[in-house]
Amino acid sequence: MNAIPAAANAGSFHNVPTPPASEQPATSVEPWLPSAAQAGNGHAGNGNGDTGHGGAGKGNGHAAYRPVDAAVNGGRRPTISVVVPALNEQENIAWVLERMPAAVDEVVLVDGYSVDRTVQRARAARPDIVVVAQNAHGKGEALRAGFAAASSDIVVMIDADGSMDPAELYRFVMPLTMGYDFVKGSRFLAGGGSTDLTPLRRLGNRVLVGIANALFLIHFTDLCYGYCSFRRECLSALAPTACGFEIESELAVHAVKASLRIAEVPSTELPRRYGMSNLHAFRDGQRVLRTLIREWISRRPRPVVDPIDPRALYGWLTKAGTETEYAVREPAMRGVTT
């Protein structure tokens, strides 16, 4: 099975203009988002032609052409949710939200109990934003909470630090409207790149990509990069369970194991705009490696066990209006740190 570089399938995208590089907020619905009538004319491959998984004329047996508009929406364009996990990103979040294309129907901000003004600035930049709190620590838990809250046909995940450009969103939406199930960004396809990748991270990613390709007989060009999208109907097949940054690799591997139709698209990683990254190359690389080995050995889905944050517990109690019944002291709960 191969991940198909969507750029190589240029026949599907030759009429799609690239959004301008301006940092001004988008003001109109993007022309690149097809209507139901337009979606039926794509040529993203049907599992039997030369763009199918597994080589020319072979396909993967699960790649029937299914434009999301016609298959799911009964004549309307697919709706789009963007999930943004954030922890103390007050200096970056407005830049990300203001560059969000107008075609986006819903933005879900997953707040990791930020102690700065991340949530307030997010609401100022996009008043209709949906804010949810994650129940435990880690990017994986944040994304699972965001996926559960997303209500659109298409779900895109993007970071809050400005390292992923929302202007590239069309690259992650268009393949899904042309029959793909899961789209992952690649910094190593033609048209992609990174101005933030250190030599150590580049080497680690190359090694992990090689291991993933060997174990799962796939041909990824990138692995540890979190700009991805998928049809929401495929969430149960993707079955995310990871707690940390390794969720990015886990989603890709689960897509392979579920025989979903996968595309890679070029993407450019930018330096985070302000602040320090929460990424730790050695620790997170080890977690990705363990994830790859576990997924190769086991064919059964791993159960999810979340270590619930005490602040989440108190939030549930408050929402239920039963904090007095349990005699919980609010100041004590507010002061809890883990």
Residue 274 in this model has a pLDDT that exceeds 70 = yes
Residue 277 in this model has a pLDDT that exceeds 50 = yes
> For residue 300, what pLDDT is reported?
62
Answer yes or no: CATH 3.40.190.10 is held by domain 4-16+27-297: no
Confidence of residue 140 (pLDDT cuts 50, 70, 90): very high
Calculate mean pLDDT across residues 85-107.
Answer: 96
Q: Which range has the worst mean pLDDT, 4-18, 82-96, 199-213, 228-242?
A: 4-18
> For residue 6, what pLDDT is reported?
53
Q: Which whole-number Å values give the CA distances from 323 to 110, 310, 316, in the listed order?
A: 24, 13, 9
DSSP E strands, the chain: 4-5, 80-86, 106-111, 130-133, 154-157, 182-186, 193-194, 228-231, 262-266, 268-269
Residue 294 in this model has a pLDDT that exceeds 90 = yes
Q: Which range has the worst mean pLDDT, 79-93, 243-257, 324-338?
A: 324-338
CA distance 204 to 208: 6
Task: For residue 284, list its beta bridge partners.
Answer: none
Tokens 């400005």 -> residue: 162
Residue 33 in this model has a pLDDT that exceeds 80 = no
Confidence of residue 284 (pLDDT cuts 50, 70, 90): confident
Residue 68 in this model has a pLDDT that exceeds 70 = no
Q: What's the mean pLDDT when you consider all of the chain? A: 78
* Token duo for residue 199: 């030599």
Cβ(32)–Cβ(16) below 8 Å: yes
> For residue 21, what pLDDT is reported?
44
How much is the pTM? 0.72
